[in-house]
Amino acid sequence: MELPPTTRWPTLRGYPDRGDPYRRFLYRYHAMLDRWPAATTEHLDSRFGRTAVTVAGPPDARPLVLLHGSGATSTIWYALAGLLARRYRIFAIDRLGDAGLGGADLPLRTGADLLNWLTGVLDGCGVDRAAVAGHGSGGWLALRYALAAPDRVSALALLDPVDCFGRPRAGYRSREFALTFASTPGRARALVRWESTGVPVDEDWLELFAAGTGVPRQLPPRQPRPSAAELRELTAPTLIMLAGMSRVNDARRTRLAALRRLPSAEVAVIGHASHHSLPYQPAGEVAARLSGFLGRAVGS
């Protein structure tokens, strides 16, 4: 599936001078893009604003949409994209209103706004139906989208999702709250290092995450957990991968809650992974599980 004709996103030299913090963010963002397989970053305009989408993989392959977590940017999928783009057409989307290459013209005030925005992006990409994978709050968005637009989602993969099957741990929530309302690069680094204790952190991505604190962002809409009744309406085959060393979710409790509410779902705990590392560490295990699941759910 081909995107409509667009302009390649400009290099750093092409950006207007919007202050050193913004230019540092762009530098870090492009450094992460350099680690992707052969890919292009396109931009799509909608009534909500301009959205950046990084695309990789054969144009005629089955589409796989990737939704990142808060502040992570779509570049965090670099390792999985390197493994999965051989078989799938990857569409990694920067969430509008969050750190990224896009720009919002209208605020996304509600969950319905987010769903309408995502529908517009998929329409702009020419994607009628796709497998959708989301990490963290991107998992919440992926799940909500599968519930709201079941005809658009052929399969669903949730990587240590937030606010889907229970509340995040109180210790993490308090630190995240502090970062949201007193955002600095140092606080961002400290949050990830604390949450990823005992797990290697990608330093290039961490510097991008920290630089994102200097980019204007919108407060995300409220993320109410889907009710048990809503989850019973889910039709998409679902894979849930939980980070065994996550300090965001309690992996054991979340696994039990997910199986209780979605008994047909496949649920796996990835032992040596934190919440923040899961999209890239351990990439081989995550890619193998995701690829196997997609093969069973939608075919190769």
- What's the token pair of residue 3? 């995107």
pLDDT reported for residue 19 = 56
Opening angle at CA 148, ends 143 and 154, nearest 5:
65
Decide: 136 and 69 in contact? Cβ < 8 Å.
yes
Per residue in 88-129, pLDDT (tens digit) is: 999 999 999 999 999 999 889 999 999 999 999 999 999 999
Q: What is the pLDDT of residues 212-239, one digit of tens each?
A: 999 988 888 888 999 999 999 999 999 9
- Superfamily in which the 12-297 domain is placed by CATH: Alpha/Beta hydrolase fold, catalytic domain (3.40.50.1820)
pLDDT mean across residues, the chain: 92
Per-residue model confidence as pLDDT tens digits over 43-73: 999 999 999 999 999 999 999 999 999 999 9
CA distance 207 to 197: 17
Structure confidence at residue 245 (pLDDT) = 98
Q: Domain map of the chain by residue range?
A: 12-297
Nearest to 211 by CA among 104, 71, 96: 71
Contact 262, 238 (CB under 8 A): yes
- Asked whether the beta carbons of 20 and 7 are under 8 A apart, the reply is no
For 154, the 3-state DSSP assignment is strand
Residue 134 sits at the vertex; the CA angle it makes with 236 and 221, to the nearest 5 degrees, is 105
pTM of the model: 0.93
Burial class from Cβ neighbours inside 10 Å (0-12, 13-18, 19+) for residue 115 reads: middle
Per-residue CA distances from 293 to 92, 151, 219 (Å): 19, 19, 34
